[in-house]
Structure 1
Amino acid sequence: MRKLILSLLLVISIVSCKKEEQSTKNFVLTGNIKGLKEGKLYIQRVNDTLLVPIDSIIISGDSNFKSEFDLESAEMLYLFLDRGVTNSLDNNIPFFAEPGKMNIETSLDFFTSDAKITGSKNQELYEEYKKVVSRYVDRDLDLITKRFEAYKRKDNAEIAKIQEEQDALKKRKYLYSVNFAKNNPDAEISPYIALAEISDIKFKYLDTIKKYMSPRVSKTLYGKKFMEYYAERQKIEK
């Protein structure tokens, strides 16, 4: 009997410990930075065009990390690695956080490019979007190089031709962005793309995005910001 009571007390103790370990926050970010032995990480968000820290994590010997806090809505956040005296530009990973559990696996040497982010549907959609848009960006960079060469040759006809190509390329990129937002009306990434990528697009396209956006998304962080921007543009259009 005594052994049975001790066993029950042990089970109760284990269960209680597990309950204590469970986070009371609605967002938990875990991860690992291969090769990082000492350093400091910051979780940041944009506030009035500036990146401000939400949480900081000290790495000392163990390259695994964890951060927990409450998210009111899905939001683009940034994992920043403080490299101290180095001036590396490879130190900020954007990730589309949403309530729940997310994980970021990367390396010290290729902090941004090696990043593997899981646990967020909005992040998956964001990566899908970036993959397509990167093709437009790469093509535009090629055209910029050709245009520079044409300027050096003073070839006005070629300059005009390249400008037409760039205008057409921009239009295709913008139309893809609009269709992406239309096809994902219940994802917070849609109003974010409208604001961050194509805010200067013609009003009729903003109107299209608004009509397709779900009522739930319109009440989220970026949904509200989009509706405010839409109202401002609407006044201008009138």
Structure 2
Amino acid sequence: MRKIIWIALSALVVSCGSKSKDNFTVKCQILGLKKGTIYLEKFEDKKIVVVDSVNITDATEEFTFTNTINEPELYIISLDKLNTKQITFFGEEGTIHIETSLNKFYINRKISGSSLQEILDKHDEYAKKFNDINLDLIKDKFEALKYGDTKSVEEIELKRLNNLKRLYLFSANFAIAYNDKAISPFIACHRMEQATPKLKQKIYEALTPEIKHSKYGKQLKELIQ
């Protein structure tokens, strides 16, 4: 009798210990997909590493990745490792849905289920206005250089620098407003590359202790130092 009870308890322990610890699910749909290898990737030590992959041979448009995530970080969904077939998104605990089409892989992307991705999209949408102005000014500068108009070149460059300052001030204020989320140091590290160390330091000082010890909090600290 004791032996039977012991076996039953052992089976229960093994069963509980073998339960999946996966806390991160990515459900994808790529309309028009016929075949290819889909990769779930992330950045590790400045390199892109493969977390998981699935090979499609039967025109399956829907597939799922499950994994364990320790903290929010940036992930990539890519098709056959092509630069033109990539979607970056912020991964976090829970289920994230990604929808797109084969022909317009990046343009038609729709991401839901990630609150941090929604915040990043909000930042990038507003930042795009500054970036569009910057591109127009660069175009005007080349035109002025073409005709040897030195005065206009100087004026345009001053406008461009002022526009970049406004962009970085916006990004810094935005990051500080979300100082308790991993998106804050991420913006400082990957959306403010040319910003002054002083401005990045201001963001770092505003971070909560938990975020300072996060992946991007540590990255930001290294950049400042």
Tell me the TM-score normalized by structure 2. Answer: 0.86
Q: Is the 8 A contact 1:45 1:51 kept in 2?
A: yes
Q: Take 1:223 and 1:89, find their aligned partners in 2: how far apart are those partners? A: 28
Query: Of 135, 139, 162, which aligns to 1:145?
Result: 139
Q: Residue type of the partner of 1:30?
A: K
Partner of 1:214: 208
Q: What is the identity, as a one-letter code, of the residue corresponding to 1:90?
A: T
State yes or no: 1:67 paired with 2:54. Answer: no
Q: How many angstroms apart in 1 are the aligned matches of 2:148 and 2:41?
A: 46
Amino acid corresponding to residue 195 of structure 1 in structure 2: C
Q: How many residues align?
A: 207
Deviation, structure 1 residue 207 = 2.6
Deviation at 1:201, TM superposition (A): 2.4
Judge conservation of contact 1:90–1:110 (CA < 8 Å) in 2.
no
Note the 1:128-139 alignment, pairs <5 A.
128-139=122-133
Offset of residue 222 of structure 1: 0.9
Residue in 2 that maps onto 1:49 = 46
Give the 5 Å matches for 1:115-134.
115-134=109-128
Runs of 5+ unmatched residues, structure 1: 1-21, 233-238
Contact 2:200 2:220 in 1 (8 A): no
SS of match in other structure, 2:63: strand
Q: Give the secondary-structure state (helix, strand or coil) at the position aligned to 1:224.
A: helix
Partner of 1:81: 79
Q: SS of the residue aligned with 2:184?
A: helix
The amino acid of 2:64's aligned partner reads K
Q: In 2, are the aligned partners of 1:151 and 1:159 still within 8 Å (CA)? A: yes
Contact 2:134/2:163 (CA < 8 Å) preserved in 1? Answer: yes
Secondary structure of the corresponding residue to residue 145 of structure 1: helix
1:102 and 1:179 mapped to 2: Cα distance? 28
Task: Give, in angstroms, the shift of residue 136 of structure 1.
Answer: 1.2
Deviation at 1:154, TM superposition (A): 0.2
What secondary structure does 1:33 align onto?
strand
CA contact (8 A) 1:26 1:99 kept: yes
Deviation of 1:82 after TM superposition, in Å, equals 1.3
How far apart are the structure 1 equivalents of 2:37 and 2:211? 34
- CA 1:23–1:36 in 2, change beyond 3 Å: closer, same or farther? farther
What do the CA deviations read for 1:10-36 (whole angstroms, capped 9, x no partner)? xxxxxxxxxxxx953011100100110
Is 40-49 or 184-193 further displaced after alignment? 40-49
Structure 1 segment 218-237 matched on structure 2, within 5 A:
218-230=212-224, 232=225
Instruction: Indicate the SS of the match to 2:76.
Output: strand
Counterpart code for 2:76: Y
Deviation at 1:199, TM superposition (A): 4.1
In the alignment, structure 1 residue 204 sits paired with structure 2 residue 198: yes
SS in structure 2 at match of 1:117: strand
- What is the aligned-residue identity percentage? 33
Distance 2:20 2:106 in 1: 28
Instruction: Tell me how large the CA RMSD over aligned residues is.
Output: 1.8
Rounded to whole Å, the distance in 2 between the matches of 1:165 and 1:30 is: 44
Equivalent positions of 1:102-181 (< 5 A) are 102-181=96-175
**SS of aligned partner of 1:209:** helix
Q: Partner of 1:36 in structure 2?
A: 33
Task: Quote how far apart the aligned CAs of 1:120 are.
Answer: 0.9
